[in-house]
Amino acid sequence: MAKNDSKAEKPAMSEGAKSYLILYNSVQLTAWTYLLSRIVSHFLAGKGAETLYQENKVLVQVFQNAAILEIFHVMFGLVRSDLMTTVMQVFSRVMLCLGVLVQSTEAQGCFGITPMLTAWSLSEIVRYSFYTVNLLTGSVPYFITWCRYTFFYILYPVGVSGELICSYYCLQTLNESKAHYISPEYATYFKYFLVAVMVTYIPGFPKMYYYMINQRRKVIGGSSSTKKTQ
């Protein structure tokens, strides 16, 4: 699901912490930009969705799961954000990577993989651009701020739709006891867990969507730059 922002005050960070966050966000920005370029070139080459994940699985798994570090960023005070919200947001994507895509060949090649990975890439490019520029300069150009608080209108529902489609195909895999790394006796338990996670999207999606709409109303104004910290 989408990432959110907190307005809580936080003390100035050390130069070491700042350098680390600049490196982390820059690497993530580069990785997601590269993934988006590979998605575009994949379809320009006439290939289908069924091979998209297989050709990019290392990139997706490494850099999406690297977002686990963002939980520790909050825990150690490097970033201002609500810990539980961050945990839930990171968990939803990690669960999709390790619990859905790794387990199910059907999910890897389904028609939901393209909107999911495309929405993830675009949203992360904007998000990590926002953080990197702010850490480097202390302010963010209005264009990047506008993108961060506008693109979610389309990227969030598109991404969530792709996530749910992939999860549905994973359920089919579990029903047929074809999961790659889960034994049949545990597949039923994971299936119920996955269904429970999918159900949380019902209250979670509109809540986060309207939260972002309200954030946009607060942030988007007449100024040419918005000063924020990750």
Helix residue ranges per DSSP H, 95-222: 105-108, 113-137, 142-148, 152-175, 184-219
Q: Which residue has the tokens 């988006």?
A: 36
225 located within any domain: no
Q: How many domains does the chain have?
A: 1
The CA distance from 197 to 201, in Å, is 7
Nearest of 72, 201, 218 to residue 149 by alpha carbon: 218
1 located within any domain: no
Beta-carbon count within 10 A of 62 CB: 11
pLDDT for residue 223: 44
pLDDT for residue 85: 85
pLDDT for residue 8: 41
The CA distance from 8 to 114, in Å, is 36
pLDDT for residue 229: 42
Q: Which domain holds residue 160?
A: 15-220
pLDDT for residue 225: 43
pLDDT for residue 3: 53
| Helix/strand/coil percent split, the chain, to 5 | 75, 0, 25
Q: Which residue has the tokens 């264009």?
A: 143
Beta-carbon count within 10 A of 227 CB: 11
Provide the annotated active-site residues: 156, 163
The CA distance from 65 to 176, in Å, is 27
15-44 and 52-65 helices, crossing angle to 10°: 170
Nearest of 23, 27, 140 to residue 78 by alpha carbon: 23
pLDDT for residue 181: 83
229 located within any domain: no
* Per-residue pLDDT in tens (0 to 9) along the chain, 230 residues: 445 544 444 567 789 999 999 999 999 999 999 999 999 999 999 999 999 999 999 999 999 999 999 999 999 999 998 898 899 889 999 999 999 999 999 999 999 999 999 999 999 999 999 999 999 999 999 999 999 999 999 999 999 999 999 999 999 999 888 888 888 888 889 999 999 999 999 999 999 999 899 999 999 854 444 444 44
226 located within any domain: no
